[in-house]
Amino acid sequence: MKVLDLKATKVLNSKGDFVIQIEIKTKYGTFKATAPKGTSKGKYEFPEFVGGINSAIKKIKVIKNKIRHESFNDLSDVLSFEYETKKYGSGICLPITFSLLKALTYDKGTKVWKLFNPKKKAMPKLLSKMIGGGAHEFNKGPTFQEFLHLPKSKDLDKNIRENIDVYKKIAKDEKPIGRDLEGGWALKISDEQAFKILKKNASGKIGCDFAASNFYKNKKYVYKNKKLSKQAQIKHILELKRKYNLYYLEDPLHEDDFEGFAELTDKLKKKALIVGDDLFVTNPERLKKGVELGACNACIVKPNQIGSLKETIEFVKLAKRYKYVPIISHRSGETNENILSDIAVGLEIPIMKIGIVGGERVSKINRLIEIKGE
């Protein structure tokens, strides 16, 4: 497959921020793709645009000259070309990779997920936000960022229905004031009140993305009415886990505290998923450090954190090798781009963290439904 033309356009995401849409033209037609943008970002994430979005767009001319001289015959060819694009930022590299994958599947008469894994097809469980807080809710509600529900059923249709039912129950009983950036209900309540509401309405397992780096200041975890040391924070998290039977604990400590994560993982053993997001930022080298220290037993997968699909695949393979549960995740600033679902199925990732409302979230769930029937 040869690329005839490449074009970059600024488009809006669900936060109202500009991202780049890449449009690749081949003899089969035009193929478009975008990449998401986060709000609560780990400090070790790869830059979205090196030198800013306008500077990145100017680099398209250079990339266009190079891409026209390439032939893309399989997945490895697409991943190899990321060497030419990652240096401009994840917001350029990933849309080019994604649009190339779409073009390649048309050329091969297949589906994107089949490029990764042509035979197996396992649907991920959907981990969905019910109540929002932290930076996603503009710090007006709970300190913690996401209060989450993981359904019991392994069937995709039942999985979706379980999450929708819990979401609607909360709306009916609690009368939310609105929604946060990812569709979670906005409520002027405390963390403990949010856990009580979630526990009362849940049909499956419950959890939380604490996003602790966002309220870690001067070596203390700063809440609205208290400040906790590292050991006090670990004790607090353990108490919350016991009190509300939490199964999923994401970023309960700040992004540099590998030792604290290891201590928490050791104390909980296999009783819960201790999930590293800002701790690992989808970076294979940081995951290796976590493995060495025994920090976490699960990890978030966000391709735009590391800036390339090739390294994302390496990260997922590494996680599976060391028995860490990989969890692929949306970002707060999404578009209707739905290739994340193909990646989830193609890489056999068991859990997908995704909101259940909003076109930019629903497009990914609908893509899973399509894949199930393919």
- Catalytic choice (15, 125, 302, 353): 302
User: What residues have CB less than 8 Å from 61, skipping those under 6 apart?
Assistant: none
- Name the DSSP class of 31: E
Provide the b/e sequence for 308-334 (b: ≥16 CB within 10 Å).
bbbbbbbbbebbeeeebbbbbbbbbbb
The total number of residues shown for the chain amounts to: 374
The amino acid at residue 186 is A
Q: How many helices (H) and strands (E) does the chain have?
A: 14, 16
Tell me how far apart the alpha carbons of residues 91 and 74 are, in angstroms, rounded to a whole number.
Answer: 23
Instruction: Provide the token pair at 242.
Output: 């016991």
Q: Which positions ≥6 away from 231 have C-beta within 8 Å?
A: none
Catalytic residue among 182, 250, 263, 360: 182
Asked if CATH classification 3.20.20.120 holds for the domain at 125-372, the reply, yes or no, is: yes
pTM of the model: 0.96
> CATH 3.20.20.120: which residues of the chain?
125-372
All CATH 3.30.390.10 domain ranges of the chain, comma separated, are 5-110
* 302 is an active site residue: yes
Q: What is the CATH number of domain 5-110?
A: 3.30.390.10
Q: pLDDT (tens digit, 0 to 9) for every residue of the chain, 374 residues total?
A: 999 999 999 999 999 999 999 999 999 999 999 999 988 777 999 999 999 999 999 999 999 999 999 999 999 999 999 999 999 999 999 999 999 999 999 999 999 999 998 777 789 999 999 999 987 666 678 999 999 999 999 899 999 999 999 999 999 999 998 999 999 999 999 999 999 999 999 999 999 999 999 999 999 999 988 999 999 999 999 999 999 999 999 999 999 999 999 999 999 988 999 999 999 999 999 999 999 999 999 999 999 999 999 999 999 999 999 999 999 999 999 999 999 999 999 999 999 999 999 999 999 999 999 999 98
When computed from its CA atoms, the radius of gyration of the chain, rounded to whole angstroms, is 20
Listed in order, strand segments (DSSP E) in the chain are 5-12, 18-26, 29-33, 125-132, 146-150, 178-179, 185-186, 205-209, 216-217, 220-222, 227-228, 246-250, 273-276, 298-301, 325-329, 351-353
Known catalytic residue at 25? no
